[in-house]
Structure 1
Amino acid sequence: MRLLHTSDWHVGRTFHGTDLLAEQESVLEHLAAVVVDEAVDVVLVAGDVYDRAVPSAEAVRVAGKALSRIRDAGAQLVITSGNHDSAARLGAFADFAAQGGLHLRTTVAAIDRPVLLDDEHGPVAVYGIPYLEPEPARHALGVPQARGHTGVLTEAMRRVRADLAAKPGSTRSVVLAHAFVTGAAPSESERTIAVGGVEQVPASVFDGVDYVALGHLHGPQRVAEHLRYAGSPLAYSFSETARKSVWLVDLDADGLAEVRRRELPVPRRLATATGTLEHLLRAAEYDDVVDCYLSVTLTDRVRPVDAMRRLRERFPHAVHLDWRPEAGTATVLRYAEAVRGRSDIEIASGFLTDCRGAPPTEREHALLATALEAAGKAEPRERDRE
C-alpha cells in the first residue's frame, strides 16, 4: 500500500496581507497529479486543513475542490483536525463522507476507531488523533490526572495500541497526529500550542506503530524513520527556506518498507534583499527576484518616505519591509533618557528623529509646534514670548 503524507494546508491563509488562495489551489491541484503519477492508494492530511476555525466560503471551495480531485485521481483520504481547524465543522457529515472515500477523524471518541483498508498483504489500520487541547481533552479522555500535551497524547496512543492489539497480528498500523514532537524544528509561521505548559512531546509517545504522519510544524523533516513531518505545501514565513514536499510511504507485508520525499512546485518563490532604497531600485543584481514574494531590509541612514510604494514599482510582490540603518547611524531608543527634562516639542522632535534617522526640518518643526499648541499641550512658542 502506498500512502501520501501531507499536512498544514492552511487554506485561506494570507502572507503578510497577500491573498494566497490562487497559489494554494495550484499546489493542492498538484497533489492529485502525484496520486496518479505515483499510484497512491491513500492520502493522509495531518491537520490544519484550514487556517481559521470559521473559513471563508472561498477557502472552503478551494479545499473542497482539492479533496474532490484527489478522490477522482483514485485515492482515499484520511484527515484529522489541527489546532487551526474547528474539529466540529471539519468533521461534519463524517459518516456520509466516508462512503465516498473521505474519512474524517476529528473527535476523541474516534481515536481508537481506525479506518480499515486492505491490500494484497492484508489489513492496514489508519488511526487519526485530532489536535488535543490538554485541558478539555484530559476530561474527554477520562484521565483527569493527565497533564499537558504529553499526558493526553499518551492516553490517546494507549487507546490506539489497545485497539491494535485486538486485531490480527498481520495488521499494519498508521497514526495521524497534530503535535510538536521533541527534536523537530519549528519555523516562524506556526501558532504556538503551549497553554500553561510545555507544548513538546517525546517521540517515544508514538512507539508501537509502523508509521506516524505528523502535522503542525511547517518544515518537512524526519524525527525518526517512521516518524515524520510533511510540512506545509506552501511557505508561510520567510524562515521556511527548505523546498516544500510530501512523503510517499510504502507498506509491505512486514510494515514500513520505504519512505520517499517528493518535492512540490513553487507557485511563487520567496526572496530577501538588503540595501539602500536607491540601490535596490536600480541594481541589476535584483532582476531575478522581481517576481518573488520579497522581504526587504533598507539600510538608508534616514528612513525613506513612501518606501514600500516605490519598491513595488519594481518589485510588485514586495510584502515585508524593515529599516535597519547601517552600523553607527541608528539612534538607540531609550525612552526614560529621551523624555527626562524635555518639553513636549523637544520630545516630539526627538521621536521623529529616532523614527527616521534625521531631525525635523524647520517647516516640520513649525507644524509640530502648531499641532501641540492646538492640543493645548505645548509651551508658548518662542515668538509668542517676545
Structure 2
Amino acid sequence: MRILHTSDWHIGRTFHGHSTLDALSTVLATLVEQVRENAVDVVIVAGDVFDSAAPSAACYPVLTQTLASLAETGARVVVTSGNHDSAARLGFQSALLRDEITVITDPATVGTPVTLVDEHGPVHVYGIPYLEPAIVRHLWAGVELRSQAQTMAHAFEIVRADLSARGGRAVVAAHCFAAGVDSTPGVEREIRQGGLDVVPLSTFDGPDYVALGHIHGRQQLSDRVRYAGAPLHYSFGEAGKPRGSWLVDLGADGLAAVSWLALPVPRPLATLRGPLDDLLTDERFAGHDEHWVRAEYTDATPQPDPMRRLQARFPWCATVVHLPENTMDDDAVGYAQRVRAARDDGEVIDAFLSHVREGEAASEAERALIREVLDARRVAEARS
C-alpha cells in the first residue's frame, strides 16, 4: 500500500502581510498530480489544515477543491486537526463528505481506524487530532493528563490496544512536538510548557509508520517516525528548507520504503545583507528581483525610507531590518552619565548623537552646524 504524508497546509496564512492562497493552491495542485502519478492509495494530512480557528471565507474553496481533486485520483484521504485548527469548524461537515474523505477532529474517536485492504491484508489508519490536555482529560477518567506528552502517550496506548485486537499493519497520523526535532523560532505555535509537552520518541512505538505534523521543516526522527513539514515557506527562517511530502510504501511485513517527493517553491526566499547603497546598486545582489527579500542594511545610522527604495529594486521585498555592522561594546558609562558629564549643550547633543548612532559621534561639519545653531539661540535669548 502506498501512502502520501503531508501536513501543515496553513490555509489562510499570510507572509508579511501578503496572501499566500494563490501560491498554496498552485502547490497543492502539484501535490494532487503527484498522488495521481504515483498511484497513491492513501493521503494523510497531519493537522494544521487552516492557519486559524476562524478562517476567512476565501480559505474554504482551497480546501474543498483540493480534497475533491485528491478523491478524484482514487486515493482515500484522511485529515486530522492540528493546534491551529478549530476542530468544530474543520469537522462540522465531516458526516456529509464523500466516502473517500475522512476528517478526524473528535478525540473520542481515537483508536477507531480507517481500514483499507491490499493484497497483503488490512492496513489501519489511526487519526489522532490535536489533543489539548485540559479539554480532553474528561474523556478518560482516572488517567493523569496534565501535559501533551501524557495525553499523546495515552492516545497511543489506545491505538496499540485496538491494533492488537484487530491485527494487521498500522499507520498513525498525529500532531505534536516530538523530542529531537529542530523547530523554526517564531513559526510553529508554542504547544509546550518547558519540557513537559515534548513527546518522547518511544511514545510512537508500535505502528508501522507515524505521520507527524506541527513542525514546518522536513524531519526524520527514525525510519518510521517523520514530519513532512509545510508545503510553503511561511517565514524567512524556513528559507532553504525543502518543501514536499513523504511517499511511504508498506509491504507484507510493514514499512518497505520511504522517499521524498519535492514540491515547487513558487517564490524563493532570500536574506540580503550589506550597506543600503550596496543593496540598491551592487551587482552581487542581482537575480533576486523575483524573490521574497529580507533586507538587512548595515549602515551605522538609520536611513530614510529604506523599504520604498528597496522595493524599487526588489519588488517583493517583504521586510527591512537595520542591523549596524559595528556596534560599540558597553563601556560601563551609560547615556545618562555622559549627559550629566557634558560641559555644555554642544556636548549634550554630541552624546545624544553618539547614543542613537551606535557610537558614531558628530562629524566636524555637524559640530560646526550645531555650534552655529546654539550661538544663534544664545544671541536670540540675549536680545529677548
- Would the TM-score normalized by the shorter structure come out above 0.5? yes
Look up the match of 1:375.
Answer: none
Q: Does structure 1 retain, via aligned residues, the 8 Å contact 2:131–2:151?
A: yes
Displacement of 1:73: 2.1
One-letter amino acid matched to 2:224: H
Of residues 180, 184, 187, the one that matches 2:181 is 184
- CA deviations on 1:29-80 (whole Å, 9 max, x unpaired) are 1111001110111110000001100001111221222112111222121011
Tell me the secondary structure at the aligned position of residue 334 of structure 2: helix
Displacement of 1:224: 0.6
Distance 1:88 1:300 in 2: 50
Tell me the secondary structure at the aligned position of residue 219 of structure 1: coil
Displacement of 1:251: 1.0
Displacement of 1:213: 0.2
Tell me the secondary structure at the aligned position of residue 74 of structure 1: coil
Change (3 A) 1:231 1:334: farther
Distance 2:241 2:312 in 1: 29
One-letter amino acid matched to 1:55: P
Distance 1:155 1:89 in 2: 25
Look up the match of 2:163.
Answer: 164
Displacement of 1:135: 2.2
Change (3 A) 1:356 1:303: farther
Displacement of 1:133: 1.3
Look up the match of 1:131.
Answer: 130
Look up the match of 1:228.
Answer: 226
Distance 2:352 2:45 in 1: 50
CA RMSD of aligned residues (A): 2.7
Displacement of 1:335: 12
Change (3 A) 1:351 1:118: farther
- CA deviations on 1:142-187 (whole Å, 9 max, x unpaired) are 34523311111111011111111111x3x21010000111111111
Distance 2:231 2:91 in 1: 22
Change (3 A) 1:251 1:9: same
Look up the match of 2:172.
Answer: 175
Change (3 A) 1:333 1:25: farther
Alignment of 1:82-101 (within 5 A): 82-97=82-97, 99-101=98-100
Look up the match of 1:376.
Answer: none
- CA deviations on 1:291-346 (whole Å, 9 max, x unpaired) are 1011111011221110011000000111121112222xx35689993345859x99
Displacement of 1:351: 6.7
Q: Does structure 2 retain, via aligned residues, the 8 Å contact 1:129–1:176?
A: yes
Alignment of 1:3-22 (within 5 A): 3-22=3-22
Look up the match of 1:266.
Answer: 265
Change (3 A) 1:382 1:260: same
Distance 1:336 1:140 in 2: 60
Distance 1:93 1:100 in 2: 12
Distance 2:349 2:134 in 1: 48
Q: Does structure 2 retain, via aligned residues, the 8 Å contact 1:44–1:78?
A: yes
One-letter amino acid matched to 2:90: L
Look up the match of 1:69.
Answer: 69
Change (3 A) 1:225 1:303: same
Distance 1:335 1:351 in 2: 16
Q: Does structure 2 retain, via aligned residues, the 8 Å contact 1:43–1:78?
A: yes
Look up the match of 1:214.
Answer: 212
One-letter amino acid matched to 2:180: G
Q: Which sections of structure 1, spanning at least 5 residues, go unmatched?
A: 370-380
Change (3 A) 1:148 1:38: same
Distance 2:147 2:264 in 1: 37
Q: Does structure 1 retain, via aligned residues, the 8 Å contact 2:338–2:351?
A: no
Distance 1:14 1:254 in 2: 43
Displacement of 1:96: 2.1
- CA deviations on 1:210-242 (whole Å, 9 max, x unpaired) are 110000001111101010000000111222222
Tell me the secondary structure at the aligned position of residue 83 of structure 2: coil
The worse-fitting range, judged by mean Cα deviation, of 203-212 and 68-77 is 68-77
One-letter amino acid matched to 1:194: R
Asked if 1:115 corresponds to 2:114, the answer is yes
Look up the match of 2:236.
Answer: 238
Distance 1:117 1:40 in 2: 13
- CA deviations on 1:183-203 (whole Å, 9 max, x unpaired) are 111113111102476231111
Distance 1:320 1:14 in 2: 13
Distance 1:274 1:121 in 2: 56
The worse-fitting range, judged by mean Cα deviation, of 143-152 and 186-195 is 143-152
Distance 1:336 1:54 in 2: 51
Tell me the secondary structure at the aligned position of residue 180 of structure 1: coil
Q: Does structure 2 retain, via aligned residues, the 8 Å contact 1:338–1:347?
A: no
Look up the match of 1:51.
Answer: 51
One-letter amino acid matched to 1:224: S
Change (3 A) 1:341 1:200: same
Distance 1:190 1:142 in 2: 31
Tell me the secondary structure at the aligned position of residue 8 of structure 2: coil
- TM-score with structure 1 setting the length: 0.87
Distance 2:356 2:22 in 1: 37
- TM-score with structure 2 setting the length: 0.88
Change (3 A) 1:107 1:196: farther
The worse-fitting range, judged by mean Cα deviation, of 9-18 and 136-145 is 136-145
Q: Does structure 1 retain, via aligned residues, the 8 Å contact 2:80–2:173?
A: yes
Q: Which sections of structure 2, spanning at least 5 residues, go unmatched?
A: none
Change (3 A) 1:318 1:354: farther
